[in-house]
Chain A
Amino acid sequence: DTGVSQNPRHKITKRGQNVTFRCDPISEHNRLYWYRQTLGQGPEFLTYFQNEAQLEKSRLLSDRFSAERPKGSFSTLEIQRTEQGDSAMYLCASSLAMISGGAEAFFGQGTRLTVV
């Protein structure tokens, strides 16, 4: 399977615990996005990388959220001191960074986080 891979698919955690999610993009894609989606809503932008550089982080994102892409390949999203409001589907997507900028993003299946 050469698509975007996210692990784990499901995570249940107690409030206050830290969680980390991993995303493996399509191999030749140099741009990687993280989104959060709650039931019936559109994906909400969290952050994105071009290679290893984090180009933008949503102002809606608290300091408890951090993302890395150390070698420009896979990425991790960490949530510290989880709260019940963090319960959502976390989506990763990747794309080529074309000069024209018109490349579409391909999404993984997501990681569903439940904070109890």
Chain B
Amino acid sequence: AQSVAQPEDQVNVAEGNPLTVKCTYSVSGNPYLFWYVQYPNRGLQFLLKYITGDNLVKGSYGFEAEFNKSQTSFHLKKPSALVSDSALYFCAVRDGDSSASKIIFGSGTRLSIRP
């Protein structure tokens, strides 16, 4: 079975500082990893994904994420936070070795950027 853990319920960062939102995963096969963002009263929006290749993937709004196979992690990062980045962030995983596997989401991390 696959699972995702987001160990921090909330992350607080000052505007202009770098931010990291943590994610660890567990799958039996090769992981396909995703990050989504949810603004208040809005649906989930796709940010970026890791399928294969370069461990550092870049996505929307200046976000990037680093895949670390040995630590089974896929942390979301941004070099300089904006107040508008404040939202709920979800990490998700799919078992890449199973063509019929579903996407499982973590419990979410609320990112709060103070001016």
Which A residues are closer than 8 A to B by beta carbons? 4, 33, 35, 40-45, 48, 50, 55-56, 91, 93, 97, 99-102, 104-110
Contacts and interface: CB of A to CB of B under 8 A. Distances in A.
B94 A41 contact: no
Interface stretch (B39-47, B63-71, B79-87): B39-47
14 contacts: A4-B43, A35-B105, A42-B108, A43-B105, A45-B102, A45-B103, A45-B104, A50-B100, A56-B100, A101-B96, A101-B101, A104-B46, A109-B43, A110-B43
Contact of B103 (A55, A97, A105, A108): A105
B107 A42 contact: yes
Contacts, number: 63
Top 10 closest A-B pairs, CB basis? Answer: A102-B51, A42-B105, A107-B44, A107-B43, A42-B107, A109-B43, A43-B105, A104-B46, A42-B108, A55-B100
Nearest to B95: A101
B14 to A, nearest CB: 23
Contact of B107 (A41, A50, A55, A104): A41
Given A42-B90, A107-B43, A107-B44, A101 B107 contact: no
Given A41-B107, A42-B108, A56-B100, A101 B94 contact: yes
Contacts of B52: 102
B44 A43 contact: yes
A35 to B, nearest CB: 8
A58 to B, nearest CB: 9
A23 B78 CA distance: 34
Contacts of A40: 88, 108, 110
B34 A104 contact: yes
Contacts of A107: 36, 43-45
Contacts of A110: 43
A110 B38 CA distance: 12
